[in-house]
Amino acid sequence: MTGSRSAVSDPALLMRLKTRQLVLLAQLGVERNLGRAAAAMATSQPAPTKLL
């Protein structure tokens, strides 16, 4: 990344994210663990890995 803009604040990137990806990112912020985030989303761990 260059400049003061982060990838998350890039409007073009945010427009390309799917709702499920946004939910996963939010859940990862809470859980700090992919397995626990997957469990909280009622899915198996490979599904969120593929979303990333």
pLDDT tens string 8-51: 677 777 788 889 999 999 999 999 999 999 999 999 999 999 98
Q: For residue 6, what pLDDT is reported?
A: 55
d(CA 51, CA 44): 12
pTM: 0.68
Nearest to 51 by CA among 9, 14, 8, 19: 19
